[in-house]
Amino acid sequence: METQTTTAKKNDTHIDVYQIINEKVIEQLNNGTVPWRKPWTEGGLPQNLISKKHYRGINMMLLSMMGYEHNLFLSFKQVHDVGGSVKKGEKGHVVVYWSQLDNKQEGTEPVEENKDQKKKSILRYYYVFNVAQCDKIPEKYLPTARETKELPSCESIVSAMQHCPSIRHKEQKAFYHPKEDYVNMPKKRSFKNDESYYSTLFHELVHSTGHESRLKRETLTQMAEFGDDNYSQEELVAEMGTCYLQSFAGITSEFENSTAYLQGWLGKLKGDKKFIFTAARAAQKATDYILNVPDQKDVPERQE
């Protein structure tokens, strides 16, 4: 199975990875499902069965929305390396990753360039299969009854955030104030339950990670006005980051969809095929910051 680049040719056609993934997300939205609001509490965080590494960013969202009992995946080569096989008729799921190449290399088109301009990042993809799509996987690799792990409390997530902005309860509305670096929240009793309160707080804390003293996210620091491109991107970052944190905390009751909401995101995705990628990467960085996760690369270094 050959890794493809964003512009690699296959059968004289250009393979556009951005377009492939964007169409998958749009298909989900058209079906009334918001993929980044799909909680993974039941199936576990998407993970490679062999390396035990968790998939991150856009890959975490893509794999968790498939609805498998166990979010455990293998590459085609890994399946065969352990003596297994893919069931007849099963189709693999796309996983993407970045590969750095020298600018002198030909046949690829730069997607992102490093500051030193010596290397360029190419978006590549390959396929993985869920354990449910495979036969003859040795039992030592297969999941047993998963141990119930104690989920972190919402308050422990908030209190553990490094350089957390001050949280005030002075006005009956929720917002993050970038210039003064504080979050305002309505009093907890104003919400129907604690889950609603913390879901709203998570949203504002994700915004706060973009502050210049933290991740210095341009969609926050350079936001001009309500409705501009940076605003739309920043809101999706906060939305996705909130959903990640909700799932980490075991909150599944606050995932709600609306027709207006779906149409709004559909319009953005149809207008910019890179929109979801940029937001997913930023949301992962924001949640890593809040959860104090050390810097790490997205899982799919190629698993083949």
What pLDDT, in 10s, does the model give residues 189-220? 999 999 999 999 999 999 999 999 999 999 99
**Tokens 């997607």 identify what position?**
111
Give yes or no for a contact between 282 and 276, defined as CB atoms under 8 angstroms apart: no
The number of beta carbons lying within 10 Å of the beta carbon of residue 270 is: 13
Residue 12 has pLDDT above 50, yes or no: no
What are the structural domain ranges in the chain? 9-135, 154-290
Q: Is residue 280 very low, low, confident or very high in pLDDT (cuts 50, 70, 90)?
A: very high
- Between CA 227 and CA 48 the distance in angstroms is 38
Q: What is the pLDDT of residues 68-120, one digit of tens each?
A: 989 999 999 999 999 999 999 999 999 998 887 765 554 444 345 554 455 67
For residue 224, name the pLDDT band (cuts at 50, 70, 90). Answer: low
Which of 24-38, 55-69, 163-177, 247-261 has the highest average model confidence (pLDDT)? 163-177
How far apart, in whole angstroms, are the C-alpha atoms of residue 102 and residue 123?
Answer: 14
CB 134 within 8 A of CB 79: yes
Give the number of other CB atoms < 10 A from CB of residue 84: 19
Nearest to 16 by CA among 148, 108, 154, 128: 108
Is the domain spanning 154-290 CATH 1.10.10? The answer is: yes
Q: How many C-beta neighbours within 10 Å does residue 128 have?
A: 26
Distances in whole angstroms, Cα of residue 158 to Cα of each of 205, 268, 301 = 8, 31, 31
- The alpha-helical segments, DSSP class H, found in the chain are 17-30, 57-64, 76-81, 154-160, 194-208, 218-221, 229-248, 259-271, 275-290
